[in-house]
């Protein structure tokens, strides 16, 4: 094979490698986009130090350290239950009567959203005494938190482009929260002109496993 032929083969090899490299890069970028951005999903690890993707669900969680400037980060002392990553830290609010997270979904107002709050006390303060406090959406009472380990959810239709979820100190212990999630729902599922529909329990009919998301 002469030098010209060798040159042509070499150039063809370089082109093929370049195409394969670009293809691989594009696939990696697509995977990152899938992990980092799920339309209509906001998942906040309250007290978390960094952003991550939950290994079990594949849902990306964002640390709240740049989302709120009040509260104190704590770590549950009791981790015997091997909690999920978003339950391994929490944010407590010993100062102020009312502390709020502001959610700004891209889809804006007049849409159905499910708001879920998660709590894992884990005796983080060494008092072994579960606090009781109120949750508000905006200025309206959502519910009173009385459990040391659990979650609450509500279906809400905001009339503004933002949603304030607030923890309110009622004098019965320091409010805390482990995770805050928002999910966009199909507007055809629930019909309401505005306000909230409580959602105390959900069931997966026919499944033999709990914890289905």
Question: Are 62 and 123 contained in the same domain?
Answer: yes
Q: For 115-148, what is each residue's pLDDT tens digit?
A: 999 999 999 999 999 999 999 999 999 999 998 8
Question: Are 153 and 184 contained in the same domain?
Answer: yes
Residue 145 is classified by DSSP as: E
pTM of the entire predicted model:
0.74
Residues 6+ apart with CB under 8 A from 98: 136, 166, 167, 168, 169
Number of domains the chain contains: 2
Q: Report if residue 135 sits inside a domain.
A: yes
CATH code of the domain covering residue 81 = 2.60.120.430
Question: Are 48 and 28 contained in the same domain?
Answer: no
CB 99 within 8 A of CB 167: yes
Residue 160 is classified by DSSP as: S
The percent of residues in the chain predicted with pLDDT above 90, rounded, is: 62
Mean pLDDT score of the chain, rounded to an integer?
A: 79
Q: For 82-126, what is each residue's pLDDT tens digit?
A: 679 999 999 999 999 999 999 999 999 999 999 999 999 999 999
CB 93 within 8 A of CB 145: no
List the structure tokens of 67.
Answer: 């989302």
Question: Are 96 and 48 contained in the same domain?
Answer: yes
- Among the ranges 29-38, 40-49, 201-210, which has the highest mean pLDDT value? 40-49
Give the structural domain span for 162.
39-198
H/E run at residue 25: helix 3-36
């Amino acid at each position: 094979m002469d030098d010209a032929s060798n040159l042509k083969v070499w150039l063809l090899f370089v082109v093929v490698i370049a195409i394969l490299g670009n293809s691989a890069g594009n696939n990696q970028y697509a995977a990152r986009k899938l992990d980092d951005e799920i339309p209509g999903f906001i998942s906040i690890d309250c007290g978390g130090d960094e952003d991550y993707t939950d290994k079990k669900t594949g849902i990306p969680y964002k640390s709240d350290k740049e989302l709120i400037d009040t509260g104190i980060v704590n770590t549950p002392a009791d981790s015997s239950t091997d909690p999920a990553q978003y339950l391994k830290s929490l944010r407590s609010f010993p100062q102020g009567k009312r502390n709020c997270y502001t959610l700004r979904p891209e889809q804006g107002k007049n849409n159905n959203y499910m708001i879920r709050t998660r709590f894992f006390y884990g005796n983080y303060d060494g008092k072994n005494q579960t606090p009781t406090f109120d949750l508000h959406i905006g200025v309206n009472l959502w519910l009173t938190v009385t459990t040391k380990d659990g979650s609450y959810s509500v279906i809400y239709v905001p009339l503004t482009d933002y949603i304030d979820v607030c923890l309110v100190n009622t004098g019965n212990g320091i409010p805390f929260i482990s995770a805050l999630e928002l999910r966009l729902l199909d507007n055809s599922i629930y019909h309401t002109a505005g306000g909230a529909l409580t959602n105390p329990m959900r069931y997966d009919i026919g499944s033999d496993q709990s914890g289905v998301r």
